[in-house]
Amino acid sequence: MCMPKIALVTGANKGIGYEIAAQLAGLGMTVLLAARDPDRGMKAAETLRSTGCDAHPITLDVTLPATASAAATKIARQLGRLDVLINNAGISGSLSQQPPGTASLDTVRAVFDTNVFGVITVTNAMLPLLMRSPAPRIVNVSSSVGSLTAHSPSGPMAWLPGSAAYATSKTALNALTVQYAKELREAGVLVNAADPGGCDTDLTRPTGFPVHRTAAQGAAIAVRLATLGPDGPTGGFFNDDGPVPW
Ligand SMILES: NC(=O)c1ccc[n+]([C@@H]2O[C@H](COP(=O)([O-])OP(=O)(O)OC[C@H]3O[C@@H](n4cnc5c(N)ncnc54)[C@H](OP(=O)(O)O)[C@@H]3O)[C@@H](O)[C@H]2O)c1
């Protein structure tokens, strides 16, 4: 009998994370919606369950390692393994505090704490559980804003103001993706970075930057990378159209 796959999505109480959880659950997976606020996580999981999905909340603040180990312990006890980890939780940080020449180090640190160090915290807490899966997949939700190529004078991100926090955190996340993929290749863990494209969420709304996609559209690439077959790529950076330049 085919056991349902088990997926954990961080920052799953809203936005792209919620849509990733909904789409994975729609494929028949058991989905753990990780949220730093237990009430928000519970409400999101209830909403998904009301549509017939196997969805459960789990409390996890990616900047608090104790919550990641507690979540891993709970999953080990209740489910025994994890097949898919989606590192989605992310913050943009105050835009006015990240132009490189005047950047607030506190803002840069806070953004890296969530978008980069949080990914290491959660991934390492969940790795022993992923190693018990016959086909483990890790997806890091990155951004084309992290593409160095895209910021060249003729690149698609050339118009964006310089950023020492959000953009650099996603570049670092891409680098981390490559290094995890390298380490875990032999073990059969496929690790990739997803670029959702500009989506209308609480993260982008305050910026006033133009976005043309829904959170559900942004979720699709992460779902595709979470469901790669054994010959799928690892250590790559993809959007809906294929590889994104580093
Ligand atoms: N929207 C876009 O256009 C776009 C484009 C490219 C990449 N992305 C990436 O997509 C991911 C999701 O963003 P989004 O647009 O869906 O933003 P969002 O609607 O603001 O959702 C962000 C999620 O991350 C959670 N989160 C933040 N800090 C956390 C922490 N320390 N621990 C656990 N969860 C935390 C938030 O929880 P709370 O509700 O508790 O704050 C929320 O669930 C991010 O990594 C973002 O960088 C977004």
What confidence tens digit (pLDDT) does each residue in 149-201 have? Answer: 999 999 999 999 999 999 999 999 999 999 999 999 999 999 999 999 999 99
Catalytic entry in 5, 18, 170, 180: 170
CA–CA distance, 32 with 10 (Å, rounded to integer): 9
The answer to whether 56 and 33 are in contact (CB under 8 A) is: yes
CA–CA distance, 39 with 201 (Å, rounded to integer): 20
CB atoms within 10 A of CB 51: 10
**Nearest ligand 1 atom, CA 170:** 47
Pocket mutation for ligand 1, best pick of 16, 32, 58, 85 (most atoms within 8 Å of C-beta): 16
Phi-psi region for residue 121, left (φ > 0), alpha (ψ -120 to 50) or beta?
Answer: alpha
Burial (CB count <10 Å: 0-12, 13-18, 19+), residue 154: exposed
Report the separation in Å between the CA atom of 2 and the middle of ligand 1, taken as the mean of its atom positions: 32
Residue 180 is among the residues annotated as catalytic for this protein: no
The answer to whether 100 and 163 are in contact (CB under 8 A) is: yes
Strand pairing partners for 192? 139
Band the pLDDT of 146: cuts 50, 70, 90.
Answer: very high
Tokens of 117: 């160090």
Protein residue closest via CA to atom 8 of ligand 1 = 143
Which helix (H) or strand (E) is 108 found in, with range?
A: helix 105-112
Task: Note the residue count of the chain.
Answer: 246
| Rounded average pLDDT over 34-44 | 98
Using the structure block, give the residue that is written with the tokens 């990780």: 34
First to last CA, the chain: 41
Report the separation in Å between the CA atom of 36 and the middle of ligand 1, taken as the mean of its atom positions: 11
Question: Which residues lie with the beta carbon below 6 Å from any ligand 1 atom?
Answer: 10-11, 13-17, 36-37, 40, 61-63, 88-91, 114, 118, 141, 143, 196, 198-199, 201-204, 211, 215, 218
| Rounded average pLDDT over 114-132 | 98
Find, among 72, 78, 166, the residue nearest to 114 by Cα. Answer: 166
Catalytic entry in 74, 166, 180, 182: 166
**Nearest ligand 1 atom, CA 114:** 31
CB atoms within 10 A of CB 12: 33
Alpha-carbon Rg for the chain, nearest whole angstrom, is: 17
The answer to whether 54 and 4 are in contact (CB under 8 A) is: yes
CA–CA distance, 114 with 95 (Å, rounded to integer): 16
Based on DSSP, count helices (H) and strands (E) in the chain, helices before strands: 7, 8
What confidence tens digit (pLDDT) does each residue in 76-99 have? Answer: 999 999 999 999 999 999 999 999
Report the separation in Å between the CA atom of 13 and the middle of ligand 1, taken as the mean of its atom positions: 9
What integer pLDDT is reported at residue 1 of this predicted model?
A: 57
Residue 166 is among the residues annotated as catalytic for this protein: yes
Report the separation in Å between the CA atom of 1 and the middle of ligand 1, taken as the mean of its atom positions: 36
What integer pLDDT is reported at residue 3 of this predicted model?
A: 86
The SS3 assignment for 80 reads coil
What integer pLDDT is reported at residue 210 of this predicted model?
A: 85
- Decide if pLDDT at 71 tops 70: yes
pLDDT over 70 percentage in the chain: 100
